[in-house]
Amino acid sequence: MRQAERALFDLRRGLPILLRQPGRDAVVSAVEGLDDAALAAMQSLTGSQARLVLSQHRMAALGQHDAAEAVALALSPLPPSRGLRELAWMRNAALPADSAQTQGTAIERAALRLLGRAQLVPAAIACDIAPDRAEAVAAEVASGRLLAVTATEALQLCESGPGTLTRISEARVPLAEAENSRFVLFREADGVHEHVAIVIGDVADWPQAVPVRLHSSCLTGDLFGSLRCDCGEQLRRGVAAINALGGGVLLYLSQEGRGIGLANKLRAYGLQDEGLDTIDADQVIGFSEDERDFRVAHEMLELLGVKQVLLLTNNPSKVEALQHAGINVVARRAIYGEVTEQNQRYLKTKASRHGHWLHDLLNEQGEPASSAPESLPAPATIARD
């Protein structure tokens, strides 16, 4: 999968790549960062009209609720790059009435999956290779100026999860809430994502069920104390709670904005300021309600030798993800931040639409009380997909 991993870097740099499937090749590029000169160069190289590729979530935001996973749009006339960006993620954009839509093939699906994994807006430009331009495109590939990847290889990379994690480095890092702490850094095979396990206490003295918290990175909340969320408080309270329980592990996962990345999270914040909730804002940009992959947490725990956990979470998806991966979640405990004027709507959305166990916390604000049991069934009783 080395070529597919390299494709992530090229797409993030704004470079096009060549995606191949049997009987068809296409040059694709991210709409994000695309300018008119790059768009013209793609069409000149391939000898074909560019098509806009959007995700089913973006199509739903545009009013097309029965779209396939990837949709290719033939637009005539083709808008300039600015117009393509508007169609890709602007809230009030509308599809031209005469746009021709076709269900995307493996190439379109692979393009969107790669962009999502690279934490770019999942919107692509695709140009098929005209027969009389095949030699010119082959020359670009041979020279190294254009990276060629099979759609199958790209899809396998994106469906395989984080791949083989490598334990890179570690050091003792005393924390205000837990002085006896050690940071262990893991790197994914694609070289893009790094995650940190904060090991609290003496490993030899851990209980049979190790206290664990999965915390997705949140630059705005964790570092700057943003009032829009409760992430920073949950992070620090999570460390303190694990320390009070005698030690355990906090996994700090590089999955900003529920997996969409910081740039897209800030785009979503702008849409929330216009009245959308967090889930609808992510859909406008083209993402699902949660793009995180908690398989990486399972691999980190495996490498740390943790088999049974007491999970500190309000999120049922985290419990299910670890259970399905084979980690025995024997119990869970709530871990709350403070409800403020600025984050109340965000927390209510997590409770009502994500199903988070926050109703006991929000009950103080006049919401219906509801909670999940502290003890949980063994993995064998959890339904499998």
Active site residue 228: no
25 given a catalytic annotation: no
Length of the chain: 385
Closest CA to 130 of 41, 16, 22, 26: 26
Out of 113, 292, 293, 332, pick the active-site residue. 292
Residue 158's Cβ-count burial label (10 Å; 0-12, 13-18, 19+) is: buried
- What does the block give as tokens for 254? 């590089």
Choice among 277, 290, 333, 360 that is catalytic: 290
Structure tokens at 24: 């068809």
The type of residue at 362 is: L
Burial of 177 (C-beta count, 10 Å sphere; 0-12/13-18/19+): middle
Active-site residue set: 290, 292
